[in-house]
Amino acid sequence: MDVESSSEVVVITTTPTLIDGVTTTAEICWYEPPEGTERRFWMVTVFGSTIAFFSIIENLVLFYIFVTRKHHHNNYNMYMMLIAIFDVFISIAYIALMSVNILSDYLISRTIIAIWFFYMIPMITFSHIALISSSFLIVCATFERFCLATSSGRLLRWAQKNRKLIAIFAILLGVFSKGPMYFEYEVIQPHECYGLFMENQIQLSEFATNIWYNTVFRIWYRNIVTIFMPFFILVLLNVIIVMSLSRQTNLTVCQLASNVIVEQAKRKMYLEMIREKVDPDNRRATARAATRTMVAVVCCYLISNIISVILTGVELYDSKILTDQKYSYWAGLAIDLSSLLTTMACFFRLPIILICQPAFRIEFFQIVNQWFICRIFSKRNRKIPNENGECLLPNRPQSTGGTSILSMESGKDHVVIKKMPVTNGSVKPSKVDEDQKEHDQRKSVWSNGYETLL
């Protein structure tokens, strides 16, 4: 029992009749499991739900890291933080809308389908808002990478300075584009079907069938602004970014200095880095890592949405093709694949960031160490994990002897115990100190709102 947002459900108002004393079921109440229900059950309900479940876990972890580490709030990862929470909602909606719906067809369960109809309208509205807002945020983040890769100094400074306003605008545009979906559907309960599987049915509301709203907003505005525009804008920006990265590796310093605006921006950024004691090479590496991340995220988005773009184009050309009995099986398969690919794109978001951003990868595993390793052995070793992933020990007397000493840094209710080797009567800085120094420097790199050009 699938719901297609673009096609109207036609209700046949035939009433029960008596034939030879036997009551026949009205045509509106007749139900037959859709073709390919077995295949759809294993592909969507089993495999798709598994992917969606792990996507929820991954993106919750990703969102937690971005929210609790304030140095991510003022750089490009702010977009990834918002995309992560929208990915959580998209994955939840996939299970609630797609998997549960197909499960009801597979089991022919009146209880499951009744529950599904209860939350379907608000859930499909919210999932579409999350999906489109996420698309717009990816466009915004890619535009910033485009400005950086093409050395557009003024546009880059504007995009970095107004990240929060740009993100808010992208989300509001998603709400405006998909929010009215809540009023476009209505659940009906034909009295002829009381007690049957088809007791609850859905159709377009009078609001959605208004000729101006349906033609201008639902068909043209939505298809162009929310499907075609993000897709082709991202194709264009991604191609330009990749070409710029390839070309920029051959540029000399003199060639870069020929652009006055870019040189001024670089001078300002280098002064900031000198004042903050940030290594310029680290800053450039961070910028390149962010650009690689966005290129990979965009490629994943394009792959996951290409089927949706094709289906939308076919629907605009001739909407009857998708509802034709000859193509119904393949149309249903394409819709299932499109939804599954979208969920898989959400699932791959965290692996992409871990692969493309070494600094974030170190930070991520520090937090994993804090959550699991330290906490698992906290009772036995009396260790307390701190926010940097270190394991803290309760106050103990400082001890010396042998070839090492234990250095204690006092906190409010605990101290950090660091083992420092002694060489020729002097204390040699431990690897922990070096790691902490690298962590502080990396945090300074993350926290600055501006980045050097590639």
Q: In the chain, what are the domain boundaries?
A: 18-365
- What pLDDT does 74 receive? 81
What HEC string does the chain produce? CCCCCCCCCCCCCCCCCEECCEECCCHHHCCCCCCCHHHHHHHHHHHHHHHHHHHHHHHHHHHHHHHHCHHHCCCCHHHHHHHHHHHHHHHHHHHHHHHHHHHHHHHCCHHHHHHHHHHHHHHHHHHHHHHHHHHHHHHHHHHHHHHHHCCCHHHHHHHHHCHHHHHHHHHHHHHHHHHHHHHCEEEECCHHHCCCHHHCEEEECCCCCCHHHHHHHHHHHHHHHHHHHHHHHHHHHHHHHHHHHHHHCCCCHHHHHCCHHHHHHHHHHHHHHHHHCCCHHHHHHHHHHHHHHHHHHHHHHHHHHHHHHHHHHHHHHCCHHHHCCCCHHHHHHHHHHHHHHHHHHHHCHHHHHHHHCHHHHHHHHHHHHHHHHHHHCHHHHCCEECCCCCEEECCCCCCCCCCEEEEEEECCCCEEEEEEEEECCEECCCHHHHHHHHHHHHHHHHHCCCCCCC
- What pLDDT does 263 receive? 54
Q: How far apart are alpha carbons 253 and 152 in whole angstroms?
A: 16
Residue 133, both tokens: 């807002």
10-residue stretch averages of pLDDT, the chain, 454 residues long? 42 36 62 86 96 96 90 86 96 96 92 94 96 96 89 86 94 96 93 87 92 92 94 94 74 47 55 51 70 89 92 84 78 90 95 90 85 65 50 45 41 41 47 49 45 36
pTM above 0.85, yes or no: no
Domain 18-365 falls under CATH 3.40.640.10: no
Residue 376, both tokens: 């698992």
Q: How far apart are alpha carbons 394 and 249 in whole angstroms?
A: 51
- What pLDDT does 264 receive? 58
Residues whose CB is less than 8 angstroms from the CB of residue 312 and which lie 6 or more positions away in sequence, other chains included: 223, 227, 228
Alpha carbon separation from 246 to 236, 243, 284, 452 (Å, rounded): 16, 5, 16, 17
